[in-house]
Amino acid sequence: MGVAASALPMVFLAVFFVWPVANLIWRGLGDDISRLGEVLTGERFLRVIWFTLWQACASTALTAVIAAPLTWAIANRRFTGRRVARVLVTVPFVLPTVVVGGAFIAVMDRFGLNDGSLRLRHTVWAILIAHVFFNVAVVVRTVGGFWSQLDREQELAAQTLGATPWQAFREVTIPRLAPSVWSSLSIVFLFTFTSFAVVLLLGGPRRSTIETEIYRWAVTRGDISTAAALSVVQIAAVVALVALNQWLQGGVAATSSLLGDRAIAAKGRRQRVAVAAAVGGTGLFLAVPVVVLIERSLRLGGNLTFENYLSLGDRVRLLPVSALDAVANSLLFGLAAAGIALVIGGMGAIAVVHGTGAIRHMLSVGLLLPLGTSAVTLGFGVLITLDKGWLDLRSSWWIIPITQGLIGIPFVVRAVVPVMRAIDPSMREAAAVLGASPRQVRREIDLRIGTRALVTGVGFAFAISLGEFGATSFVGRSPDQLTVPLAIERLLGTPGDLLRGQAMALSVILMVVTAAVVLVGDRVHPGDGGVL
**Number of C-beta neighbours around residue 225 at 10 A:** 19
My answer on whether 348 and 210 are in the same domain is no
SS3 state of residue 265: strand
Residues 6+ apart with CB under 8 A from 210: 48, 49, 52, 230, 233, 234, 237
My answer on whether 261 and 365 are in the same domain is no
> What is the greatest pairwise CA distance in the chain?
77
My answer on whether 393 and 458 are in the same domain is yes
Query: 241 in a domain, yes or no?
Result: no
pLDDT, position 3: 61
Q: What is the pTM of this model?
A: 0.80
pLDDT, position 194: 86
SS3 state of residue 102: helix
My answer on whether 265 and 348 are in the same domain is no
Given 243, 272, 297, the domain boundary residue is: 297
Q: Give dist(CA 194, CA 498) in Å, integer.
A: 31
My answer on whether 435 and 286 are in the same domain is no
**Helical packing angle, 33-41 and 224-254, nearest 10°:** 70
> Facing residues of 258 across strands?
150
pLDDT, position 245: 66
Write the DSSP string, 44-84: HHHHHHHHHHHHHHHHHHHHHHHHHHHHHHHHHEE-TTHHH
My answer on whether 263 and 383 are in the same domain is no
SS3 state of residue 515: helix
My answer on whether 452 and 426 are in the same domain is yes
CA 28, 29, 30, 31 torsion: positive or negative?
positive
Q: Give dist(CA 338, CA 457) in Å, integer.
A: 9
Please choose, from the candidates 249, 237, 84, 257, the residue with its C-alpha nearest in 3D space to the C-alpha of residue 154. 257
Residues 6+ apart with CB under 8 A from 422: none
DSSP designation for 280:
H
Query: 359 in a domain, yes or no?
Result: yes
Regions of the chain short of the pLDDT cut 50: 1, 253-256, 528-529
pLDDT, position 256: 46
My answer on whether 205 and 135 are in the same domain is yes
Query: 240 in a domain, yes or no?
Result: no
My answer on whether 281 and 340 are in the same domain is no
> Facing residues of 265 across strands?
78
Query: 335 in a domain, yes or no?
Result: yes
CA 209, 213, 219, 225 torsion: positive or negative?
negative
Query: 494 in a domain, yes or no?
Result: yes
With the CA atoms of 321, 322, 326 and 329 taken in that order, what torsion angle do they form, in degrees rounded to the nearest 10? -70
CATH number at residue 23: 1.10.3720.10
Length of the chain: 532
Given 265, 297, 329, the domain boundary residue is: 297
Residues 6+ apart with CB under 8 A from 86: 74, 140, 141, 144, 528
pLDDT, position 33: 67
Rg (CA), the chain: 24
Q: Give dist(CA 222, CA 12) in Å, integer.
A: 29
CA 274, 280, 283, 288 torsion: positive or negative?
negative
**Number of C-beta neighbours around residue 462 at 10 A:** 25
pLDDT one-digit tens code per residue, 77-97: 888 888 788 778 877 887 778
pLDDT, position 252: 52
164: left (phi over 0), alpha (psi -120 to 50) or beta: beta
Residue 2 has phi, psi (to 5 degrees) of -80, 180
Query: 197 in a domain, yes or no?
Result: yes
Please choose, from the candidates 32, 425, 484, 76, the residue with its C-alpha nearest in 3D space to the C-alpha of residue 232. 32
CATH number at residue 121: 1.10.3720
My answer on whether 19 and 40 are in the same domain is no
Number of domains present in the structure of the chain: 2
Q: Give dist(CA 305, CA 319) in Å, integer.
A: 23
Going by their DSSP bridges, the two strands 264-265 and 77-78 should be labelled as parallel
My answer on whether 97 and 11 are in the same domain is no
Q: For 19, what's the count of Cα atoms within 13 Å in the CB-facing half-sphere? A: 15
pLDDT, position 400: 92
Residue 238 sits at the vertex; the CA angle it makes with 342 and 40, to the nearest 5 degrees, is: 145
Q: Which domain holds residue 264?
A: 36-158+193-230+255-297
Query: 7 in a domain, yes or no?
Result: yes
Query: 386 in a domain, yes or no?
Result: yes
DSSP designation for 388:
S
My answer on whether 92 and 218 are in the same domain is yes
